[in-house]
Chain A
Amino acid sequence: MDKGKAVMGTGRRWAVEFSDQSTVPSSRDILDPPGFSRASPEQDDSATSRQKKDAEANWKLQKAWEVAQSPFKNLMMMGFMMWMAGNTVHLFSIGITFSALWQPISALQSVGKIFEPFKDNKVELLMPKLVFLALNLGGLALGIWKLNTLGLLPTHASDWVSSLAPPQEVEHSGGGFVFH
């Protein structure tokens, strides 16, 4: 890959200018042909392009909502898997639980990226984002709940006491049978 880049970097350059400079008549030496009106097509197209843009925005919003709701399916599936895995600690249940925790977290991290394609001035993305967040947080909560049911969260008194050493005793005594 590097070699390719290197070739491109040091090689000869040439460019074709495709941009239309026709909107600037003064720069042109050649006159427009007779009967050609420079302004008219733009005015004509404006109605259709707006329509097109509206449709696109609608489509984007729809897609955004779809994406926002997609964790719900995931959530359902996770719930089912968790129920299948049972409440004992073994490889399967641990794997399920950690994937259930990881998925929402990674999704939450990349909220911006996921909704990037639907970014538009006209599309209100706040609601889909919020729904997406809520659903993922729900997934996260489900994972944490599962973690707790597996007994891996320190939510019981036993978790905090089991590391406490026995208390010191104030009095000391010794003795026993008399030596014979």
Chain B
Amino acid sequence: MAIRVYLLFLLFLSSAIVTYSLYEDQAGLMDWHQRYIGKVKHAVFHTQKTGRKRVIVSTEENVVASLDLRLGEIFWRHVLGTKDAIDGVDIALGKYVITLSSEGSTLRAWNLPDGQMVWETSLHSAQQSKSLLSVPVNLKVDKDYPILVFGGGYLHAVSAIDGEVLWKKDFTAEGFEVQRVLQPPGSRIIYVLGFVNSAEAVVYQIDSKTGEVVSQKSMEFPGGFSGGISSVSSDKVVVLDSTRSILVTIIFLDGGISFQKTRISDLVEDSGNAEILSPLLTNMLAVKVNKRTIFVRVDGEGKLEVVDSLSDETAMSDSLPVADDQEAFASIHHEGSKIHLMVKLVNDLDTVLLKESIQMDQHRGRVHKVFVNNYIRTDRSNGFRALIVMEDHSLLLLQQGAIVWSREEGLASVTDVTTAELPVEKDGVSVSKVEHTLVDWLKGHVLKLKGSLLLASPEDVAAIQEMRLKSSGRSKLTRDHNGFRKLIIALTRAGKLFALHTGDGRIVWSMLLNSPSKSEACERPSGISLYQWQVPHHHAMDENPSVLVVGRCGSDSSAPGVLSFVDVYTGKEISSSDIGHSVVQVLPLPFTDETEQRLHLIADTNGHVHLYPKTSEALSIFEREFQNVYWYTVEADDGIIRGHAMKSSCSGETADKYCFTTRELWTVVFPSESEKIISTLTRKPNEVVHTQAKVNTDQDLLYKYVSKNLLFVATVSPKGAGEISSVTPEESALVVYLIDTITGRILHRLSHQGCQGPVHAVFSENWVVYHYFNLRAHKYEVTVVEIYDQSRAENKNVWKLILGKHNLTAPISSYSRPEVFTKSQSYFFAQSVKTIAVTSTAKGITSKQLLIGTIGDQILALDKRFVDPRRTLNPSQAEKEEGIIPLTDSLPIIPQSYITHSLKVEGLRGIITAPAKLESTTHVFAYGVDLFYTRLAPSKTYDSLTDDFSYALLLITIVALVAAIYITWVLSEKKELSEKWR
């Protein structure tokens, strides 16, 4: 009965509050938002003018941004689409930022000060090819400044002023690939050098005004070229031949072409495969041979000569002009925990203009890129500032021997996220003083009271806001009673692990998995995924929690794996091991050992599974459950899902007792001509479900089919696998399946004719909600499928239930063939979706909200009540009271229910939810290029007072009441006395 009252109470609350929303002054109290740009690919400095010094960068996350050189803040930023990779960035006319993207087919100009788009030109593109952006510095044609762009087989000259195409030259027929566009100063003829089929060097001389070919010279090179090219001067380039052992200098002076071959073995003794490095240096090129970087000078006749050689781990910048027709370049190399920045003259490598040593955090790894910029010091000498990109993708500005600012750009490419608890507050440790004295406390509350009574002045409002932000110790590094303070552990593409505090989003610790001090066996491990390894509670309270990072030593799927165990409290690696077998899948098992370490199975390419941790205790636990552990694989390319069971211990000489073989139990084969797997999904393994029963209005009972061994699979016709609306409705069909992963039984199949992917789905408790495109209606649709267990439906006798004579809590097996039935309903949804998640709470009692990451990079919270198959057009009174919403054809998008309010999580890729200790509340963390965190209470905080609850008002009321009681008592005493005397 208590539960019923509780549920009714909940229901009341949830029906009373339709949307989650907050007031303007509540923004930023529980949520935080961090803006990033990603790993920088190109950087162009803009420091000439006396205004704000800035650097324009383009990144691997397809962001073009303008950063403040003094503070590293973002002036402006544009996130281009995921398919709109930036190929080149430059500044034209001193006021426009030019970006070339989408493989050379889109050229845009952005206004330098404020980042507004000035013009955009789509360039004709016929075939896939390398793209090239060239902004000639002093080429002027009839008051116009052409920008030369090669991409898709065409060379375009585009006006820098308005983006109009001045002329274009079609090279598709010849298969000509432009490598360099060179422009001798003072001439209107441009040289276009390229290769045909990587074996013939062709030089076109093109009139920059009309685009006419003045002359064309070509020369075959037997053996062919490989990709690397370095242009050393306006009439010479150096390329590598296809064997990577000969450097070829191509001289195309005065319309003629000549080759000059130099064997690398003639330059250095022990030569291997060479690689031309990207820095553009005048009359010089950098070649990487045998883990050394050699500098090769090219003289006037094209002769090559080695002038210097450096260790492999040296990063170099392009050369830049300094005073007196000299050019300089920067190089950075590591030495211990320090990095050494050197700026040298290109012509004279012995002249070191600048030499600085800077202490560098080990966990930033190696320097990947250097961009250097000079400025004139007050004493007329050259000063240099260097922008460096580190291995962990972070961006730092070095100037005068110090790190001026740094940006943790690794967080723009988060690949996996988990959460962890903070340490418990120790008895001895005193709580940091939040409210100092009673007077301060009262003052604060009086201010709050003023605010709530609308009496506060603007200064007071500001003070209140500031107080709220600082209040309640939300950024303390200890666990709190409500579980609001947690750590978000994020693994980035660079292989760095970050721990972010939920209170204010600061980085508590960070750790590069492949820090240089590690062993040589695995040179560049890449992190794949992140698991909670040890979550201590109950008896293992003294242990620190830890996470498991599974990595791989190469990009190949058969490359050996690496396991790394990281202590969550300290951010230190406890241990790491090269496991000696490949990793294709990691299966966390629902068992833990004495110290709360979770058992994991790691499957390799041979179909064997390996048990971790490798302890005898884990082995005995696993052997107990040996028969009940299954494993399935989804082979999307072949359209096959396979189920495996454990068979026996591995045999063979390399086998240990923690290795087990598997046998195939079942396969589900989708016909390849009609169905292609595009999406699969299971429930989150740690989701908590409060009850197995679903109660209808008329007290009717439905038993949810709550199983963790259910796989949702969506397939489309192969024709419909492409872009939306690329097929007719007749040609495309979407089919969804619910498959039991133990037996391979298909529990449910639902086909949507005339529909198409991409499918975004969320699976929780006994329901799946998925989003797809309906080609007939030309709209997006959302369908909900709820699964119920028919075989338990007989358990309806009250007396049996009261006396406990039922089998509802008995363990169930998939082999008992549960009969299920489903209910489903579809709705239109007005928005395209990037990802869907669902809130999760500690006990699973609170109603759920779908968190929909929309195409506009915002997150919409939609009550699960809107996607309820029980919705009807005219719900009865009782149904209305239960909170069933009348059926509408489309799902409402209520602007107030955007949990990101006015912010955008640019490049949104995923949403993670984690329960707080307080049942009503859930943590939401969204990641993309930006990061966003907030706390949600889908049914409002029914189990706690809100933050803005006025304790002062309560206190004042109590004091006033006590005073009133005392006064009236005194008065009544007096009156009584006078009555007596009368």
Which residues from chain A sit less than 8 Å from chain B, CB to CB? 88-89, 151-180
Residues of chain B within 8 A (CB-CB) of A177 are 634, 636, 680
Q: Is A179 within 8 A of B557, CB to CB?
A: yes
Binds A, one of B535-543, B706-714, B858-866, B916-924: B706-714
Q: B137: shortest Cβ distance to chain A, in Å?
A: 43
If A88-B881, A179-B583 touch, does A169 touch B796 (CB 8 Å cutoff)?
A: no
Does B1 count as interface, using CB distance less than 8 angstroms?
yes
Q: Is the CB of A162 within 8 A of B810?
A: no
The 8 Å CB contact of B795, one of A154, A157, A166, A174, is A157
Q: Does B105 have its Cβ within 8 Å of any Cβ on chain A?
A: no
Chain A positions within 8 Å of B703 at CB level: 161
Asked if A173 meets B704 with Cβ closer than 8 Å, knowing A157-B798, A162-B7, A179-B585, the reply is no
Q: A167-B692, A170-B811 are in contact. Are A175 and B632 (CB under 8 A)?
A: yes
Cβ–Cβ < 8 Å partners of A180 in chain B = 557
Residues of chain B lying within 8 A (CB to CB) of residue A159: 1, 3-4
**Residue B813 is within 8 A (CB to CB) of chain A in the complex:** yes
B222 is an interface residue with CB less than 8 A from chain A:
no
Known: A158-B701, A161-B801, A170-B628. 7 other contacts (CB 8 A): A157-B795, A165-B691, A171-B630, A172-B709, A174-B601, A174-B630, A175-B632
Query: 8 A-B residue contacts at CB 8 Å?
Result: A161-B693, A162-B3, A166-B704, A172-B589, A172-B630, A175-B587, A175-B741, A178-B585
A155 — nearest CB in chain B belongs to which residue? B798
Enumerate chain A residues within 8 angstroms of B741, measured Cβ to Cβ.
173, 175
Residues of A near B795 (CB, < 8 A) are 157, 161
Q: Does residue B5 face the partner (Cβ distance < 8 Å to A)?
A: yes
Question: Contact flags (1/0) for B196-212 with A, using CB distance below 8 Å?
Answer: 00000000000000000
Q: List which B781-804 residues lie within 8 A (CB) of chain A.
A: 795-798, 801-802
- The answer to whether A176 touches B630 (Cβ under 8 A) is no
| Pair count A-B, CB < 8 A | 149
Beta-carbon contact of B811 and A175 below 8 Å: no
Q: Decide: A166 near B689, CB < 8 A? Known: A157-B801, A158-B695, A179-B583.
A: yes
With the chains together, A176 CA to B590 CA distance in Å?
17
Q: Are B590 and A164 in contact (CB under 8 A)?
A: no
B588 at the interface (CB under 8 A from A): yes
Separation of A89 and B492 alpha carbons in the complex (Å): 52
Q: Check B557–A178 contact: CB distance below 8 A.
A: yes
A157 and chain B: residue at smallest CB distance: B796
Instruction: Kindly state the separation between the CA atoms of A176 and B529 in the bound complex, as whole angstroms.
Output: 13
* Choice from B589, B643, B692 contacting A166 with Cβ under 8 Å: B692
**Contact residues on B (Cβ < 8 Å of other chain), bracket:** 35 or more
**Residues on B with beta carbons closer than 8 Å to the beta carbon of A178:** 557, 584-585, 633-635
B628 touches A172 (CB 8 A): yes
Q: Enumerate chain A residues within 8 angstroms of B682, measured Cβ to Cβ.
A: 176
A168 touches B811 (CB 8 A): yes
Q: A152-B1, A172-B590, A180-B557 are in contact. Are A165 and B690 (CB under 8 A)?
A: yes
Q: Which residues of B contact A152 (CB under 8 A)?
A: 1, 4-5
Residues in B whose Cβ lies below 8 Å from that of A170: 628, 811-814
Q: How far is the CB of A167 from chain B (nearest CB, A)?
A: 5
Among all A-B residue pairs, the 4 with the closest Cβ atoms: A174-B587, A173-B630, A160-B801, A175-B632
- Is A176 a contact partner of B634 (Cβ separation < 8 A)? yes
Q: How far is the CA of A170 from the CA of B1 in the complex (A)?
A: 31
Q: What CA separation (Å) do A165 and B811 show in the bound complex?
A: 11
Asked if B376 lies at the interface with its beta carbon under 8 angstroms from chain A, I say no
B590 contacts which chain A residues (CB < 8 A)?
A: 172
When chains A and B are docked, how far (Å) is the Cα of A156 from the Cα of B697? 12
Mark contacts of B2-14 with chain A using CB atoms, 8 A cut-off: 1 yes-contact digit, 0 otherwise: 0111011000000
CB contacts (< 8 Å) of A157 on chain B: these are: 699, 701, 795-798, 801
Q: Does B304 contact A (CB under 8 A)?
A: no
Q: List residues of chain B with CB within 8 A of the CB of A174.
A: 585, 587-589, 601, 630-632, 685
Cβ contact of A164, chosen from B708, B809, B812, cutoff 8 A: B809
Residues 552-563 of B, flagged 1 when their CB comes within 8 A of A and 0 if not, give 100001000000
Chain A proximity mask over B571-612: 1 for CB below 8 Å, otherwise 0: 000000000000111011110000000000101000000000
Q: Is B325 an interface residue (CB 8 A)?
A: no
Task: Find chain B residues with CB under 8 A from A168 CB.
Answer: 811-812
Q: Is B24 part of the contact surface with A, judged by Cβ < 8 Å?
A: no
Tell me whether B634 and A171 are in contact (CB under 8 A).
Answer: no
Say yes or no: A167 contacts B810, CB within 8 Å.
yes
- Looking at the assembled complex, report how far the CB atom of B527 sits from the nearest CB atom of chain A, in whole angstroms: 11
Question: How far apart are the CA atoms of A88 and B659 in the complex, in Å?
Answer: 61
The reply to whether the CB of B440 lies closer than 8 angstroms to some CB of chain A is: no
Taking CB atoms and an 8 Å cut-off, the chain B residues in 179-225 that contact chain A are: none
Q: B625 in the interface, Cβ–Cβ < 8 Å?
A: yes
Interface positions, chain B 645-664, Cβ under 8 Å from A, are none
Q: Are A153 and B802 in contact (CB under 8 A)?
A: no
Give the residue name and chain of the B residue nearest to A87 (CB). B878
CB nearest neighbor in A for B705:
A166
B742 within 8 A of A: yes
Q: Which residues of A contact B706 (CB under 8 A)?
A: 166
Contact of A169 among B552, B584, B680, B708 (CB under 8 A): B708
Residue with the greatest number of chain A CB neighbours at <10 A, chosen from B7, B628, B798: B798
Residues A173 and B695 in contact, CB atoms below 8 Å apart: no
User: For residue A180, which residue of chain B has the nearest CB?
Assistant: B557
User: Is residue B307 within 8 Å, beta carbon to beta carbon, of the partner chain?
Assistant: no
Residues of chain A contacted by B708 (CB below 8 angstroms): 169, 172-173
A155 nearest CB across to chain B (Å): 6
The minimal Cβ–Cβ distance linking B14 to chain A, given in whole angstroms, is 15
Contact A179 B529 (CB under 8 A): yes
B691 touches which one: A151, A156, A164 (CB < 8 A)? A164
| A169 and B811 within 8 A (CB) | yes
Cα(A46)–Cα(B759), bound, Å: 105
- Kindly list chain B residues whose C-beta atoms are within 8 Å of the C-beta of A173: 629-632, 643, 708-709, 741-742
Contact A163 B585 (CB under 8 A): no
- Bound Cα distance from A163 to B812, whole angstroms: 18
Interface contact A151-B4, CB-CB below 8 Å? yes
- Are A160 and B798 in contact, CB atoms less than 8 angstroms apart? yes
In the complex, the answer to whether B587 meets A167 with C-beta atoms within 8 Å is: no
**A120: min CB distance to chain B, Å:** 43
Mark interface residues in B664-703 (1 if CB within 8 Å of A CB, else 0).
0000000000000000101001000111110100011101
Please give, as numbers and ranges, the residues of chain B lying within 8 Å of A169 by CB-CB distance: 707-709, 811-814
Contacts of B798 in A (CB 8 A): 155-157, 160
B631: chain A residues within 8 A (beta carbon): 173-175
Closest residue of B by beta carbon distance from A89: B8
A interface footprint on B739-761 (CB within 8 Å = 1, 0 otherwise): 00110000000000000000000
A176–chain B nearest beta-carbon distance, Å: 6
Q: A153-B1, A171-B742 are in contact. Are A176 and B695 (CB under 8 A)?
A: no
Which chain B residues lie closer than 8 Å to A162 at the CB level? 3-4, 7, 691, 693, 695
A174 CB to nearest chain B CB (Å): 3
Complex Cα–Cα for A168 and B689 (A):
11
Chain A: which residue is nearest B552 at the CB level? Answer: A179
Q: Kindly list chain A residues whose C-beta atoms are within 8 Å of the C-beta of B701.
A: 156-158, 161
CB distance from A164 to the nearest CB of B (A): 5
B808 within 8 A of A: yes
> B809 to chain A: which residues have CB within 8 Å?
164-165, 167
- The docked-state distance in angstroms from the alpha carbon of A168 to that of B625 is 14
CB distance from A161 to the nearest CB of B (A): 4
Interface membership of B257, Cβ < 8 A:
no
B789–chain A nearest beta-carbon distance, Å: 10
Neighbour of A163 across the interface among B3, B557, B584, CB < 8 A: B3
CA distance A159 to B796 in the complex (A): 11
**Does B724 touch A at the CB level, under 8 Å?**
no
Are B628 and A167 touching (Cβ within 8 A)? no
Which residue on A lies nearest to B583, using beta carbons? Answer: A179
Contact B813–A158 (Cβ < 8 Å): no
Residue B166 interfacial (CB < 8 Å) = no
Residues of A within 8 A of B690 (CB): 165
Chain A residue at minimum C-beta to C-beta distance from B682: A176
Q: Does B727 contact A (CB under 8 A)?
A: no
| Cα distance A154–B585 in the bound complex, in angstroms | 48
